[in-house]
Amino acid sequence: MGNQTGSIVAIANQKGGVGKTTLAVHLAVAAARNHGQRVILVDLDPQGNATSWLLDGDLVDDVYRLMLLDEPPIKLVRGLRQWGIGLLGGNYRTGEALSMLAAVGKLGQVPQRIRPLARAADLVIIDMPPSRMAGFTEMLGSADWVIVPTKLERLSLEGVALLAQTVGDTDGPRLMGVVPNMCRARTNEHQDQMQDLTEAFGQAVWPPIPLTIRVTEASSYGTTLFDLVPDEAATYAMELIASRMMEAIR
C-alpha cells in the first residue's frame, strides 16, 4: 500500500483473557508519552474494552463506520488529549460490520480501510478480537507486525501457536514478540511454561509482566499503570516492552 509512513502493530492472541487490551492500551500510551510517537489505537475487538477503558465507559461505533461508510478513515479518529493518542473506538457493531462485509464477499476491503491510518500516524496499534471471527485474517493482514500476549498456561500457549500458524499462513505481519503476561515467577507451572515458550520462540519472548491487581485497578479507574503505580514491576515491564516495540519498528 503506497504512501504509508507509520507502522501498524496488531496485539493478538486467539485465546481470550490474556491481556491484549491491557497491552494495547499501555503500549499506545507509552509510545506516545515516552517515545514521542503519533499513535492511533484501533479497537477492533467487538467487546470494545479498550474503548470503554479510554472513554470512561463509553462505547462508540467508529470501526463500524470505518468498515461500512465511505468516510475518510482519519476523520473518524478521536483525539484523546489526556492520553496523547488518537482512538478509533469500537463496540458490538464492529462484529455486525464484519458480518455484513463477509455476507457480500468484501472482507478483502478491510486492509484498505485500516492501512490509510498509518499515513497519519507514526504508529497504529490494533487491539485484535479473540477467536477467528469473520474478518480476523484480513484484520491481521492489515498489520506490519504482531505482538502476542499470552498467559503462562496451556490454553493460552495453544493460542500463541495457533496465531503463529495464522501469521505464517498469511502473507501479512511479522511476529514481533511474545509477551508472557500475568506471570508468577515462583511457581513451578509458570517456570515450566516459560521454558516451553523460550524453547519455541527464543529471543522473541519479551519481558514478562508479573501478575498484579494493579492492572485491574487501572482499568477500573480508567487510568494506566504509568499513572497509577509508576514504580511497580508491572509498570517497568510495560515500559520495557514499549521500548522493545519501538526498537523493532525503527
Partner 1 sequence: MSQPKRKGGLRLDPSVVQFQQQAASNKAAQTPRQRYDAARTRVRADVPEWLRDELDAIAEELSTSRTQLGAFLWAWAATRYREGDADLEEILHTSMANSRSINVDVDLDLDWLVERHQNAVANSAEGPKCAK
Residues that bind partner 1 (CB under 8 A): 180, 183, 185-186, 188, 191, 194-195, 198, 202-203, 205-208, 237, 240, 244
Nearer to partner 1, 6 or 180 (CB): 180
Name the nearest CA neighbour of 131 among 50, 32, 12, 223. 12
As measured in angstroms, the least distance from the Cβ of 61 to partner 1 is 39
Of 223 and 243, CB closest to partner 1: 243
Nearer to partner 1, 198 or 223 (CB): 198
For the bound state, the minimum distance from the C-beta of residue 200 to partner 1, rounded and expressed in Å, comes to 12
Rank residues 113 and 190 by Cβ distance to partner 1 and give the closer one: 190
For the bound state, the minimum distance from the C-beta of residue 153 to partner 1, rounded and expressed in Å, comes to 15
Taking the complex as a whole, the smallest distance from the CB of residue 203 to partner 1 amounts, in Å, to: 5
Residues 6+ apart with CB under 8 A from 63: 42, 43, 44, 88, 89, 90, 93, 94, 97
- Closer residue to partner 1, CB minimum distance, 67 or 237: 237
Minimum CB separation from partner 1 for residue 224, in Å?
Answer: 20
Q: Whose Cβ is closer to partner 1: residue 111's or residue 180's? A: 180
**Rounded-to-integer distance, Cα 145 and Cα 100, Å:** 27
- Smallest distance, Å, CB 225 to partner 1? 16
Strands 123-127 and 39-43: parallel
